[in-house]
Amino acid sequence: MPAAPIWEQRWHPLREEWVIVAAHRQSRPWLGETVRDAKDDAPEYAGDCYLCPGNERVSGATNPPYTGVFVFDNDHPCVGPLAPDAFEMPPRPYAARRADGIARVISYTPRHDLTVARMSIPEISSIVDSWRRETRDLGARAEVKQVLIFENKGDVVGVSNPHPHGQIYATNFTWKTFDTELDAQRRYARENARGLFGDVIDAERRDGRRVLFEDEHAIAFVPYFARYAYEVYVAPTRQVPHVSSLSDAESESLARALKSVTVRYDNLWRQSFPYVMPLHQAPSDGGNYDDFHFYIGFLPPLRRPNTLKYLAGPEIGGGNFLSDTSPEEKGAELRAQPVIHYRETSA
């Protein structure tokens, strides 16, 4: 028997906003645009790739013959130490300030074609280790207020180079999403003497329908208040403000959770699944952020094979997400996927 359609608002406790879930609309015919199938045929090495070992980058630097994770300063930084010090101050009520920081690229692997979903647990663990190291080192610098780490994956989120990589922006300012989440978590801790994210984890465990992975130290789930159809949170079960606070055992659990989620994603439509994946971390300005629970968000832009979720009137205009899919149904779809990657099986 099909589940009853969902037509309600759901509270997003971290963003402190309502998500409108109108899942009764999802069977309406789609006459809009689709995107091309993601190509799964990247070579192991590409001579024109700025991330492959031994290749020259636009800055003139040559990549070393690296064998694991390779981190370097971004040749096209959005924020950087070269941002001008002096600029014209605008009239009130406008304001301007320096866009300072350090931008780096993390090449996950020397292999041009090896995405996270197809990596071993030790290979994914070394990516997590690079996040820990960079967060600790960059966060210790006086000019850095926050370390934003993220991966954009796939043509549909504007990444033309398939070589698996992430980015780091260590900035002299904090980012609005994490400011909002910090405020929400601080208020919740004050009012309830408990952690907000810990209570989200407990609620997901009790319900169980949206949980994709859990072991001793980490959990992955489609949140009850998902804004994107296949949105997934991956988190350590212990509340720590930064990825750098994780133990080795917790990092390895996180790597297992990341593997489980990315394999399910790829298996869903048997294609390399695109997403935006930010690490939600507290500021790194020396303050006390014990109320903040570090986690990783997967925000996939596709709602069906080759069909983008467009942000339009409700999202861009109104500022709240309207989702026409049910998080329970999407959780069930992902839970039903095998945990062996489709390209690793002979079928």
Question: Does 242 interact with Zn ion (rule: CB under 5 A)?
Answer: no
Among the listed ranges 110-118, 150-158, 180-188, 238-246, the one in contact with Zn ion (CB under 5 A) is 110-118
The answer to whether the beta carbons of residues 178 and 282 sit under 8 Å apart is yes
Our CB check for Zn ion shows the closer of 114 and 308 to be: 114
Q: 126 or 337: whose CB is closer to Zn ion?
A: 126
Q: In the Cβ-directed half-sphere of 202, how many Cα atoms lie within 13 Å?
A: 8
CB-based contact 75:56 (threshold 8 Å): no
Interface region with Zn ion, contact rule CB under 5 A, candidates 15-23, 42-50, 183-191, 231-239:
42-50
Q: How many residues bind Zn ion (CB under 5 A)?
A: 6
- Provide the sign of the torsion angle of the four alpha carbons 231, 235, 240, 242, taken in this order: negative
49 near Zn ion, judged by CB under 5 A = yes
Query: Which of residues 107 and 281 has its CB atom nearest to Zn ion in the complex?
Result: 107
- CB of 206: closest distance to Zn ion in angstroms? 44
Least Å from the CB of residue 43 to Zn ion = 9
Please report the sign of the dihedral spanned by the C-alpha atoms of residue 73, residue 74, residue 79, residue 85. positive
Q: Is 52 in the site for Zn ion (CB under 5 A)?
A: yes
Task: State yes or no: residue 254 binds Zn ion (CB under 5 A).
Answer: no
Decide: residue 269, CB within 10 A, 0-12 exposed, 13-18 middle, 19+ buried. Answer: middle
The phi, psi pair for 146, rounded to 5°, reads -155, 145
163 sits near Zn ion (criterion: CB under 5 A): yes
Chain-centroid distance of CA 289 in Å reads 21
Which residue in the shown chain puts its C-beta closest to Zn ion? 49
Q: Which of 51, 69, 149, 234 binds Zn ion (CB under 5 A)?
A: 51
Nearer to Zn ion, 105 or 138 (CB): 105
Active site (catalytic) residues: 165
**How far is residue 45 from each of residues 39, 155, 273, measured CA to CA in Å?**
16, 19, 21
Main-chain phi, psi angles of 172, to 5 degrees: -85, 15
**Whole-angstrom distance, CA of residue 182 vs CA of residue 242:** 12
- Assign 233 to helix, strand or coil: strand
In the complex, least distance from residue 161 CB atom to Zn ion, rounded to whole angstroms? 7
How many Å is the Cα radius of gyration of the chain?
A: 20
Choose which of 112, 210, 256, 341 interacts with Zn ion (CB under 5 A): 112
CA distance 259 to 268: 14
Q: Which is nearer to Zn ion, 51 or 102 (CB)?
A: 51
Interface stretch with Zn ion, choices 36-44, 104-112, 114-122, 259-267 (CB under 5 A) = 104-112
Strand residue runs (E) in 262-339: 275-280, 295-298, 302-304, 307-308, 322-323
Least spacing, CB of residue 342 vs Zn ion, in Å:
23
**Piece of the chain touching Zn ion by CB under 5 A; list 113-121, 163-171, 242-250, 336-344:** 163-171
> Whole-number minimum distance, CB 49 to Zn ion, in Å?
3
How far apart are CB 124 and Zn ion at their closest, in Å? 18
CA distance linking residue 231 with residue 217, whole number of Å: 21
Q: Is 165 in the site for Zn ion (CB under 5 A)?
A: no
Whose Cβ is closer to Zn ion: residue 57's or residue 133's?
A: 57
- Contact positions vs Zn ion (CB under 5 A): 46, 49, 51-52, 112, 163
